[in-house]
Amino acid sequence: MADEFELTILMPCLNEAETLAACVGKARSFLDRTGIAGEIVIADNGSTDGSREIAENLGARVVNIPERGYGAALAGGIQAARGRFIIMGDADDSYDFANLDAFVSQLRAGADLVMGNRFGGGIAPGAMPWHHRYIGNPLLSAIGRLFFHTPIGDFHCGLRGFSRAAILALNLRTSGMEFASEMVVKATLAQLDLREVPTTLAKDGRSRKPHLRSIRDGWRHLRFLLLFSPRWLFLYPGIALLAVGLLVGAILLPGPARFGRVSFDVHTFLVAALCIIVGLQSISFAVIGRRFASRYGFIPRSSSYDRLLEALTLERILLVATTLMLIGIVALLWGVAEWAERDFGHLNPSSTMRPVILAMTALVSGFQLMMSGFMSSMINIPIYERRLAETARPDDTTP
């Protein structure tokens, strides 16, 4: 039964026999010292080295999580926890479970998520590989702060405390190491009360290699951050490409341009056209991706974005698409006229290719917009309307 205790100390575990006893012992000493009504839960992810027996012998409650993965183990442990608050940490003896006072203090003060900051508290020699300390963690944390405007400085600290009810409401879904990023990102988007406290990181006590794989898990974190931010994945790159394409195209449409000793002609004009096409498609992906993600609960809804979508009706998108295609047809006729002036003979690429490139750019852009408008409208069909349509569909087996 949830809220039977004030605090649950949760540790995901996969073959941690070497260090689990030390972690459970420190957690127990913290509960005894502070007098907090709490429990120690081990979310076991299929250990075969006796970790389960060690935990049970020390009085911890073991929860079996059959689905493999760091996130899956933690999600199962959070579901099974009986405490109002949860403090989670790795079972490799790198975090000090005997000194969790700062986390409990912030949680009691109303915080929904309290993150440890290893860079603020101190990292022991050999506790973190240099490429994690100086490249991976700082870079991914900086991207997270840029994309989501979160106050958290150490995105991937494994020691963190939170309100069980608040985190369960986020409906966390990832099963791997990116679970750590998902928790921070969704908590930020949901406007929960996020705080940070300094914590220390010691060298873990394991003799085997850690479960973490730098490239694989680093990519999974980065992939998650990108997928949860259509603005940075699609919108901003699309706007940049579109702006560059329009600017360069406007300069080169009348004819070649020369800057100092460098001359730009139809070849650069073609590159500008491709920038416009790709940029426009990227912006369309941003709108479709954001609409899909918000409708199906991956990203919280935004009132300002909803107002924008209301303005971007299918009819208005089709009007813009049709206008672009008409411009393309006119430009194509312009190109044919240029060719006719030469009695349909040899063409001068510098002059006759310009209207053709303009025509193809407008036609392709218009067609892309039209298809994107229809796709966006299909995604926007409410789920219950789909279910009604399926219910009303006659059974093919009925005579």
Query: Which token pair is 262?
Result: 């460098």
- List of domains in the chain: 5-227 (3.90.550.10), 230-390 (no CATH)
Banded pLDDT at 53 (limits 50, 70, 90): very high
Q: Side-chain half-sphere of 366: how many Cα atoms within 13 Å?
A: 18
Give 293-320 pLDDT, tens digit per residue. Answer: 666 556 666 666 667 767 778 888 899 9
- Taking all residues of the chain, what is their mean pLDDT, rounded to a whole number? 87
Give 151-189 pLDDT, tens digit per residue. Answer: 899 988 999 999 999 999 998 988 888 898 999 999 998
Banded pLDDT at 384 (limits 50, 70, 90): very low
Residues 6 or more apart whose CB falls under 8 angstroms from that of 361 comprise: 249, 273, 276, 277, 328
Whether 1 has a pLDDT exceeding 70, the answer reads no
Whether 383 has a pLDDT exceeding 90, the answer reads no
Element (H, E) at 41: strand 38-44
Is-contact 142 149, C-beta < 8 A?
Answer: no
Residue 82 burial (C-beta neighbours within 10 Å; 0-12, 13-18, 19+)? middle
Give 55-77 pLDDT, tens digit per residue. Answer: 999 999 999 999 999 999 999 99
* φ/ψ bin of 38: left (φ > 0), alpha (ψ from -120 to 50), beta (otherwise): beta
pTM value is 0.78
Mean pLDDT, residues 259-263 taken together: 87
Mean pLDDT, residues 235-254 taken together: 94
Residue 139 DSSP label: H
Give 387-397 pLDDT, tens digit per residue. Answer: 455 555 555 44
